[in-house]
Amino acid sequence: MKNILVLCTGNSCRSQIAEGYLRHFAGDKAQIYSAGIETHGVNPKAIQVMADDGIDISNHTSNNVDEYVNIPFDYVITVCDNAQENCPYFPTKAQRFHYNFPDPAKAIGNADEVMAEFIRVRDMIKDYSNKFINEHVA
């Protein structure tokens, strides 16, 4: 079984969405974790857009990368440039991947425009997660 870690700045939106989709697509073929270089709590809008797509991340927690230092990861995926550039070193032989997804939490506009951005980013992460599992786990 593969161990996959998704890293973001605050483990609030993008990494939480990716964790949800990676778990969904991997099934029992991988253990999926997400963490941040900081912890900001899981964003309620991320929970909502995932629920709208049939995936429940409401029980996810916001975790610091230091909590996983002893897990032998096969893959580490950074989902924002800040995490890629500022992630503290931890010993791992994991293969690293990076994709800088836009931060939907920084969306501006009315409520509908903000949710549209969350949905847009969610769908980008869904596509990436599906392809990742198909190429590296399945």
Known active-site residue 13: no
Distance CA 82, CA 87 (A): 8
For 44-71, the pLDDT digits (tens) are: 999 999 999 999 999 999 999 889 988 9
pTM for this one?
0.93
Of residues 23, 62, 59, the one with CA closest to residue 42:
62
CATH no. of 2-136: 3.40.50.2300
Q: Which of 80, 83, 94, 105 is labelled catalytic?
A: 80
Going from N- to C-terminal start, the domains of the chain cover 2-136
Distance CA 96, CA 110 (A): 37
For 4-26, the pLDDT digits (tens) are: 999 998 899 999 999 999 999 99
Distance CA 20, CA 42 (A): 12
Q: Which of 8, 17, 77, 83 is labelled catalytic?
A: 8
